Amino acid sequence: MSTVTPLVDVRQLVKVYRPSPLWMRFLLRSAIDRPVEALRGVSFQVGAGDICAVVGPNGAGKSTLFRVLTGLTTPTEGSATVLGLDVTHQSQAVRRIVGFVPADDRSLYLRHTASENLIFHGRLQGMALPDARSKAQEMLELVGLGHAAGRAGFALSSGMRARLQLARALLHGPRVLILDEPTSAIDPVGAHQLLSLIERLTHEMKLAVLLSSHRLEEIEALRDHVLLLDRGELVYQGDIESLRHTWDAPRLRIRFAEPAAAVAASAKLRAVAGIETVDQIAGEVTVATTMRAGAVLGVLNGQLAKIESVEETRISLRELLIQVAGDERRPSQGSGES
Amino acid sequence: MRSLGHAVTVARAFTRMGYLLEFAYPLAFVFTQMQALVPVFIYFFVAKLVNSSNSNVGGDYFTFVIIGVLSIRVLAVVQDLSSELDSAIQQGRLETLLVEPLPWRALPFALIPWSLIVRLVTVALLVFITVPMGAHYNWSGMPEALLITLLGTVSTLVIGVLATSVKVLSKRNDPILAVYGLVVQVLSGAFFPLSVLPAPLRLISRMLPQTYVIDANRHLLLLHPAGLSGATPMQAIVVLVAFAVVGYAVSLWLLGRTLDYAREIGVLGGY
């Protein structure tokens, strides 16, 4: 990542959740009955102007990572700093320079207007009332909600609420923005608009952005940096192109005129060294290989006349991430640049 | 000094939100305030059965009990703190509040000013409503009574801070505050003189800040306080200040430790 001066610097971060001690279970019932390693030696950096997409299945450690960075929980081992401030011991100072957009839009006062929501948070930041008012209007304009300043939260669409939460997170001029699944409740068009806005603001305001999403097409569209977490471990960090370059074996989809030809072809292909996988369904054979298309077709020399079409495809990002996360041979701490 | 200014700004922000929220549901607000009339009417009729000539009720049981009821009504603001925290937890707003650069230990104080204002206004209205019903107040004692009530509120908030420490971990402390509320109702002397209680219970009564506020307010507001037992206003001030000093030292330390522990085990801001 382009981290000349990293705004977020996470080193060997470990977080272990432990069940509450027996003596205090009358007060606090643990949701777990054995220690759970939520983060296992995670290290990465995010610089100004970078958007870092944090992806991974449920339970991968994304929310724990965000909670550590916002000071809501403390690391068990390792360190995390924001602009050089330690998130454990300088939590209040860190919270002055971090903006957070939670996944849940219930965090808004839905009975209050968009403007009142922002004024309230401006006041919590220590702004005088007139300053909070003008800043609130400025932020509403920035996220395209200037016309909705007087509308109550409950009267806003999901997309508008997400924008309002973004405005709230930007109100105090943070250097780091953390967004926990900001598009989860929004339709695809609204999600695209929100992400475009985030991209624009990131570059204009030189923010360091950490964003989690389950919508992989969005991650791909950002074309920036990806942190892939799986069971608390950082299994990849880098850009998506590097990820593809390292892990993506090109796919060759060959359609035959009849299934019997496909069966025969797949038997031949499976015997060839250099071909990773061969999948055959009816008259279609899909081959994963680093061999050139011509070399693959050369193997099928006697059956070329039965081929209807040949298509080179790329693995979807979803499959790619599953492949990386599930591969036992992957190097720890990712394979991309840092 | 700067952090004190920030804390005041935060308290004003919550007060403004409380005000806006209250008047977003005007009918609910009116009916909630009308509920405050219920005990006034109950004790208006009960007073007709009680021998008011007894000197340990100041010769006027209705005024005696109304002063007790209204005093604990203001001091019950500690229950509102619990409700505010509950709604922030249940509605998912607590996490967003906690990621703001607030001193977390100031939150209990920031959450209650609006409730306190509402309670004081309600009590002021009830004072005037009870006059035509037969209550007789020493009006010259009102300013001191107000000051002692506010001092009592500050002292009682110690319990609120302790309850917040429990809530940070358990997420619900209603049973604790409910038990405390019941103890206050029975043992603070709001409805009867403490002299009618057995000695061991009187000992517990003397541990409650509410008891001192009620005692002091009766000394200040009853027309004939000569026969009253209990703390005088000056004694009450000394006890309430001591309670606040010791109580805040302990409760804020405990809240700090609890917040640290909640961060460590990852339950801060959770449900």
Give percent of chain A above pLDDT 90.
39
The per-residue pLDDT for range A192-239, each reduced to its tens digit, is: 888 888 999 999 999 999 999 877 777 777 667 888 888 899 988 888
- CA A289 – CA A303 distance, rounded (Å): 19
- CA A221 – CA B181 distance, rounded (Å): 57
For the segment A71-90, the average pLDDT, to the nearest whole number, is 94
Instruction: For the beta carbon of residue B5, count every other beta carbon within 10 angstroms.
Output: 10
Least confident among A221-230, A274-283, B137-146: A221-230
Give chain B positions within 8 Å (CB) of A27: 166, 169-170
- CA A71 – CA A3 distance, rounded (Å): 23
For the segment B191-202, the average pLDDT, to the nearest whole number, is 91
> Could you give the C-alpha distances from B179 to B158, B182, B185, in angstroms and in order?
16, 5, 10
Whether A112 sits inside 8 A of B265 (CB atoms) is no
- CA proximity to A163, closest of A206, A135, A197, A132: A197
Whether B99 sits inside 8 A of A121 (CB atoms) is no
Whether B265 sits inside 8 A of A17 (CB atoms) is yes
Give chain B positions within 8 Å (CB) of A74: 263-264
pLDDT-derived band at B75, boundaries 50, 70, 90: very high
Please name the residue of chain B whose CA is at the shortest distance from the CA of residue A16.
B265
Which tops the pLDDT comparison, A316 or B217?
Answer: B217
Whether B9 sits inside 8 A of A28 (CB atoms) is no
- CA B214 – CA B208 distance, rounded (Å): 10
Whether B266 sits inside 8 A of A17 (CB atoms) is yes
Whether B263 sits inside 8 A of A71 (CB atoms) is yes
Whether B95 sits inside 8 A of A74 (CB atoms) is no
Give chain A positions within 8 Å (CB) of B97: 124
Whether A92 sits inside 8 A of B103 (CB atoms) is yes
pLDDT at position B227 is 79
Which tops the pLDDT comparison, A215 or B118?
Answer: B118
Q: How far is A161 from chain B (nearest CA, A)?
A: 14
Taking only residues 199 to 228 of chain B, the set having a beta carbon closer than 8 angstroms to any beta carbon of chain A reads: none
Q: For residues A114 and A140, is the Cβ–Cβ distance under 8 A?
A: yes
Most confident of A237-246, A266-275, B117-126: B117-126
pLDDT at position B121 is 94
pLDDT-derived band at A295, boundaries 50, 70, 90: confident
Give chain A positions within 8 Å (CB) of B102: 92, 124
Give percent of chain A above pLDDT 70.
87
Which residues, 6+ apart, have CB-to-CB distance to B259 below 8 Å? B104, B105, B168, B268
Q: Which one of B4, B90, B93, B99 makes the best mutation probe of the A interface by having the most chain A beta carbons within 10 Å?
A: B99
Whether B269 sits inside 8 A of A100 (CB atoms) is no
For the segment B175-195, the average pLDDT, to the nearest whole number, is 88
For the entire predicted model, the pTM comes to 0.80
Residues from A contacting B (CB-CB < 8 Å) are 15, 17-18, 20, 24, 27-28, 38, 64, 67, 70-74, 92-93, 95-96, 98, 100, 102, 104, 106-109, 111-112, 116, 120-121, 123-128, 168, 172
Residue A13, strand partner residues = A42
The percent helix, strand, coil of chain B (3-state, each to 5) is: 75, 0, 20
pLDDT above 50 (res A3): no
Q: In the structure encoding, which two tokens stand for residue A310, read together?
A: 């040949």
Q: Which one of B100, B166, B169 makes the best mutation probe of the A interface by having the most chain A beta carbons within 10 Å?
A: B100
DSSP letters for A121-153: HHHHTT--HHHHHHHHHHHHHHTT-GGGTTSBG
Nearest to B92 among A98, A104, A127 (CB): A104
Give chain A positions within 8 Å (CB) of B24: 111-112
Length of chain A: 338
pLDDT-derived band at A327, boundaries 50, 70, 90: low
Give chain B positions within 8 Å (CB) of A24: 169
Please name the residue of chain B whose CA is at the shortest distance from the CA of residue A76.
B264
Give chain A positions within 8 Å (CB) of B7: none
Please name the residue of chain B whose CA is at the shortest distance from the CA of residue A92.
B101
Nearest to B24 among A93, A111, A128 (CB): A111
CB pairs A-B closer than 8 Å: 95
> Could you give the C-alpha distances from B167 to A267, A313, B30, B138, B170, in angstroms and in order?
65, 55, 30, 41, 5
AA letter at B226 = A
Instruction: Using DSSP, state whether B138 is helix, strand or coil.
Output: coil
For the segment A305-334, the average pLDDT, to the nearest whole number, is 67
Task: Check residue A113 and report its DSSP letter.
Answer: B
pLDDT at position B234 is 95
Q: For residues A196 and A6, is the Cβ–Cβ distance under 8 A?
A: no
pLDDT above 50 (res A336): no
CATH 3.40.50.300 domain extents, chain A: 8-244
Please name the residue of chain A whose CA is at the shortest distance from the CA of residue B22.
A111
pLDDT-derived band at A335, boundaries 50, 70, 90: very low
Determine the CATH number of domain A8-244: 3.40.50.300
pLDDT at position A329 is 45
Q: How far is A285 from chain B (nearest CA, A)?
A: 49
Whether B169 sits inside 8 A of A15 (CB atoms) is no
Mean pLDDT of the residues in chain A: 84
pLDDT above 50 (res B7): yes
Q: Answer yes or no: is the ipTM higher than 0.90.
A: no
Residue A99, strand partner residues = A177
Identify the CATH class of A249-313: alpha beta
- Give me the residue label for tokens 């922000």: B13
> Could you give the C-alpha distances from A90 to A69, A84, A124, A169, in angstroms and in order?
11, 10, 18, 19
Least confident among A15-19, A289-293, B20-24, B222-226: A289-293
